[in-house]
Amino acid sequence: MSSDTLPLSLPGAKSQDLLARRQAAVARGVSSTMNVFAAKAEGAVIEDVDGNRFLDFAGGIGTMNVGHTRPEVTSAIQAQAEKFTHTCFSVVMYEAYVELAERLARLTPGTFPKKALFLNSGAEAVENAVKIARYATGRPAIITFDNAYHGRTLLTMTMTAKVKPYKHRFGPYAPEFYRAPFPYAYRMNMTPSEASRACLRALERMFVGEVAADQVAAIIIEPVQGEGGFMIAPPGFLRDLKALCEQHGILFIADEIQTGFGRTGKMFAVEHDGVEPDMVIVAKSIAAGLPLSGVIGRAELMDAPPPGTLGGTYSGNPVACAAALAVLDLYEREDMAGRSRHIGEKVLQHFVSLQNRYAFVGEARGLGGMVAMEIVKDHESKEPDVSTTSQLLAAAHARGLILLRAGMYDNVIRTLVPLTITDEQLQEALTIFDDAFASIASGQ
Ligand SMILES: Cc1ncc(COP(=O)(O)O)c(C=O)c1O
């Protein structure tokens, strides 16, 4: 993070040495956005092993809503680690798991009785939601959406839409998954409400031409599609989808792994549409980066699979649960969702100003602090421009701003900044955007 936003010389010497070791020892299928190695982090800043400081607009891919190394979270982790780090909840239970289930049941939308289950990763939680939905309904089929991302395991890779790199040559995929269109208004050349209506009609047609509604266990949706490119379900779409589910006895499952915990300006994104899902899937910002995920749902559904069918050795690890409880304390004490709306407003406003200035910024869009822009050849053709996207990202990285891409066409720049970023740091980041974009536009 340089105050004059001049490009840094990256990677530094120590990162270069580590890169050489990484290349020799780590499978290349594991990719990394930045070519530097972290030494420490605090709030919205990461410092690398060469002493370069970066503003973190990635937040470990939406995991650090409460900011890096919050003392309250660190203390909770330390305190639990001193008592015990693992007993396996399936062998000897501990209170933190139960308390976390109680609190998440209260926090997720819906006043009906709920129960929870904890796992290690987002993908694992999605898999478990599918298992529970199938067992509870006795139906095999699951409907997911165009542009969806649900993970990299066999089942969730099947549910994920983008072929390269996630699915290519990793098949055959799991059976009984069907894909419905998502109202991606910008690329459908429609207004959001037209796109919603078209997608709901297409879904009803699917029940005639692809899979009978009475064979569908669940519809699983990201309220704002994350990896797909931050496409926001238009107002009313989730509500109409839920009504359609109820009509056919289909469970409505919200994948809030990326959107949850204040990211979109509400605790959960479905709250924007007043929807109460049958199950909510959480991970990422639940535990400030410790591996923890969960499924929270209607008690009768969660209790459908018999004892021994759910769980795993590390699932709901006590240190991760302790971190999550400390994180929930912070969400209760601080208006993180309000902060998310404030950050989102500033970033979106700035992105719109970049859209007005540069033909290669096709659309700026956002919900709360989940803000993105599409990079295109020009406003008229909307043709995705991957090369300019890469140049813009590189220019931002070199100026000390950690920034991620997303999108079916790899042409979306997205922001998942820790919600504890200060106004000064935010302003500094927006200045870096200006400099980076100006440098690419002028061909420097
Ligand atoms: C919406 C959504 N679902 C599922 C996943 C998979 O989570 P994980 O990487 O923890 O397996 C992600 C990860 O980015 C996600 O954004």
Q: How confident is the model at residue 443 (pLDDT cuts 50, 70, 90)?
A: confident
Q: How far is the CA of 316 from the centre of ligand 1 (A)?
A: 17
Mind listing the pLDDT tens digit for each residue in 287-310?
999 999 999 999 999 999 999 999
Mind listing the pLDDT tens digit for each residue in 396-420?
999 999 999 999 999 999 999 999 9
- Provide the pLDDT for residue 2: 47
Q: What is the dihedral of CA 48, 50, 54, 59, to 10 degrees?
A: -10
What is the Cα–Cα distance from 11 to 19, expressed in whole angstroms? 9
CB 285 within 8 A of CB 62: yes
Q: Whose CA is nearest to atom 3 of ligand 1?
A: 150
What is the Cα–Cα distance from 262 to 65, expressed in whole angstroms? 8
Q: Which atom of ligand 1 is nearest to the CA of 222?
A: 1
DSSP string, 236-302: THHHHHHHHHHHHTPEEEEE-TTTTTTTTSSSSGGGGGT---SEEEE-GGGTTTSS-EEEEEEHHHH
Mind listing the pLDDT tens digit for each residue in 311-333?
999 999 999 999 999 999 999 99
Contact 61 CB / ligand 1 (< 6 Å): yes
Q: How far is the CA of 144 from the centre of ligand 1 (A)?
A: 14
Contact 283 CB / ligand 1 (< 6 Å): yes
Given a cut of 60, is residue 3 above it in pLDDT?
A: no
- CB-based contacts of 57, cutoff 8 Å, min separation 6: 401, 402, 403, 404, 415, 416, 417, 429
Q: How far is the CA of 124 from the centre of ligand 1 (A)?
A: 9
- Provide the pLDDT for residue 5: 65
Most ligand 1 atoms within 8 A of CB, residue of 118, 149, 286 to mutate: 149
Mind listing the pLDDT tens digit for each residue in 176-199?
999 999 999 999 999 999 999 999
Q: What is the mean pLDDT of residues 278-287?
A: 98
Given a cut of 70, is residue 391 above it in pLDDT?
A: yes
Q: How confident is the model at residue 4 (pLDDT cuts 50, 70, 90)?
A: low
Q: Which atom of ligand 1 is nearest to the CA of 256?
A: 1
CA neighbor of 44 nearest in space, from 400, 409, 444: 400
Given a cut of 80, is residue 380 above it in pLDDT?
A: yes
Q: How far is the CA of 151 from the centre of ligand 1 (A)?
A: 5
- Provide the pLDDT for residue 444: 58
pLDDT over 90 percentage in the chain: 98
CB 177 within 8 A of CB 158: yes
Instruction: Name the 3-class secondary structure at 330.
Output: helix
DSSP secondary structure code for residue 272 in this structure: G
What is the Cα–Cα distance from 201 to 32, expressed in whole angstroms? 40
DSSP string, 379-407: TTT--B-HHHHHHHHHHHHHTTEE-EEES
Q: What is the mean pLDDT of residues 245-272?
A: 98
Contact 144 CB / ligand 1 (< 6 Å): no
What is the Cα–Cα distance from 211 to 60, expressed in whole angstroms? 38
What is the Cα–Cα distance from 58 to 236, expressed in whole angstroms? 29
- Provide the pLDDT for residue 397: 98
Q: Which atom of ligand 1 is nearest to the CA of 259?
A: 1
- Provide the pLDDT for residue 7: 84
Is the N-terminal amide bond of 11 cis, ω within 30° of 0? yes
- Residues 100, 105, 106, 109: is their CA dihedral positive or negative? positive
Q: What is the dihedral of CA 141, 147, 152, 157, to 10 degrees?
A: 30
Q: How confident is the model at residue 259 (pLDDT cuts 50, 70, 90)?
A: very high
CB 216 within 8 A of CB 141: yes
Mean pLDDT of the chain, nearest integer? 97
Mind listing the pLDDT tens digit for each residue in 63-83?
999 999 999 999 999 999 999
Contact 121 CB / ligand 1 (< 6 Å): yes
Q: How far is the CA of 60 from the centre of ligand 1 (A)?
A: 12
Q: How far is the CA of 150 from the centre of ligand 1 (A)?
A: 5
Q: Tokens in use for 39?
A: 């030494």
Given a cut of 50, is residue 132 above it in pLDDT?
A: yes
Q: How far is the CA of 415 from the centre of ligand 1 (A)?
A: 16
